[in-house]
A and B are shown apart, each in its own frame.
Chain A
């Protein structure tokens, strides 16, 4: 399946970014073949709507699940609405490590927003 991940650089050795919407890159990787694509995250510098924009980009990019350290409430609403599960990466994990951990069922599923929202 296709996994979407916010990353701080454009390859699988990159760390899973500590933020959700403000990472420099989004990496889409096939969990079986490990073929991947890194795209520039245009939400990084956007005016409002970075969180929902990030969710939009992940969904449009075809992600079946997401691995992230954090997810804000608006972004979470979107993922929930589209039925896309999010798994929590540990701070400092590289994407390779996160994929391995996710495959082995070692990553916790995120079931509610981890960050505070920007709007009440």
Chain B
């Protein structure tokens, strides 16, 4: 089962929830944790994995063989992203604009283009107890998180329990992290900003036709509007966590919620059971 943990708004507690869920379930089963928030992956702060592998990831970009190139410009014309310039018998490639679509190679009539990997991110893999940990980390300044998230998701195991920490927001990078999962857990806070951004996240997940549930963090700071909205939309609020100063303090130094308050481990196991039954309900 693949569970994505997302949030419309940043800072609602997505990483606290995703890591706590992983830690709680890992006491009696193997869990895979995939940190797909590649612009700011923070899962490692709370899971503290032993890293056993580190690799470069990137996008395939065109490398032009100047001996073969006749500067016809067909590749530049075919590129929708202005990543190639051909003029005055010179050719330039702009790697940071390239999306890796291979159109240039396809149209080259003299076979002058080879696609080679241009590294934009680091992939890290390791273990924390029963948790198999995978993280993508986009290099600072690189503009495209989505291809990296896609490559990491290609490494998902076919079976087993996977928790995917998604980027916040509702852009194409969140979609890439969440798509083709079995369930989306939306973490929010019941404030006007939280609810507003949650609605955007709900609309995005609906496009992908994946069942979802809500976790209300700092559930006592805000209004009842979140619950009214959830009821109207038929989205279950699966868990509520009140604002607890010691949890906030623990978070600030990298201590997971379930280490600050071990009683919550049981609650996360219950949360998982609820998700399991919602997913099998959907399958029927």
Contact status A81-B92, CB under 8 Å? yes
Interface check A110, CB cutoff 8 A: no
Of B81, B85, B141, B142, the residue contacting A56 (CB under 8 A) is: B85
Q: CA separation between A24 and B17, bound complex, in Å? A: 48
Q: Which residues of chain B in 80-127 are interfacial with respect to chain A, using CB atoms and an 8 Å cutoff?
A: 81-83, 85, 87-88, 90, 92, 94, 96-97
Annotate A77-102 by CB proximity to B: 1 below 8 A, 0 otherwise: 11001100000000000000000000
Q: Which residue of A lies closest to B142 (CB)?
A: A119
Contact status B88-A49, CB under 8 Å? no
> Given A81-B90, A119-B143: A48 and B97 within 8 A (CB)?
yes
Tell me the smallest distance from the CB of A49 to a CB of chain B, in Å. Answer: 4
> Given A46-B82, A53-B82, A56-B82: A82 and B140 within 8 A (CB)?
no
Contact status B85-A59, CB under 8 Å? yes
Q: CA separation between A60 and B85, bound complex, in Å? A: 9
Contact status A59-B87, CB under 8 Å? yes
Q: CA separation between A74 and B92, bound complex, in Å? A: 11
Contact status B94-A74, CB under 8 Å? yes
Contact status A48-B81, CB under 8 Å? yes
Contact status A49-B85, CB under 8 Å? no
Dominant SS among interface residues on chain A: helix
Contact status A56-B87, CB under 8 Å? yes
Q: CA separation between A48 and B141, bound complex, in Å? A: 13
Contact status A49-B87, CB under 8 Å? no
Residues from chain B with a CB closer than 8 A to the CB of A119 are: 96, 141-143
Per the CB 8 Å criterion, the residue count for chain A at the interface is: 18
Q: Which residues of chain A in 18-65 are interfacial with respect to chain B, using CB atoms and an 8 Å cutoff?
A: 46-49, 52-53, 55-56, 59-60
Q: CA separation between A119 and B88, bound complex, in Å? A: 26
Tell me the smallest distance from the CB of B194 to a CB of chain A, in Å. Answer: 30
> Given A52-B97, A74-B94, A119-B141: A82 and B82 within 8 A (CB)?
no
Q: CA separation between A48 and B76, bound complex, in Å? A: 16
Q: CA separation between A48 and B98, bound complex, in Å? A: 10
Residues from chain B with a CB closer than 8 A to the CB of A46 are: 82
Q: CA separation between A23 and B172, bound complex, in Å? A: 29
Residues from chain B with a CB closer than 8 A to the CB of A59 are: 85, 87-88
Q: CA separation between A55 and B94, bound complex, in Å? A: 12
Contact status A78-B92, CB under 8 Å? yes
Residues in A lying within 8 Å of B, measured CB to CB: 46-49, 52-53, 55-56, 59-60, 74, 77-78, 81-82, 118-120
- The 29 sampled A-B contact pairs (Cβ below 8 Å) are A46-B82, A48-B81, A48-B96, A49-B82, A49-B94, A52-B85, A52-B94, A52-B97, A53-B82, A55-B85, A56-B82, A56-B85, A56-B87, A59-B85, A59-B87, A60-B87, A74-B94, A74-B96, A77-B92, A78-B92, A81-B90, A82-B87, A82-B90, A118-B143, A119-B96, A119-B142, A119-B143, A120-B140, A120-B141
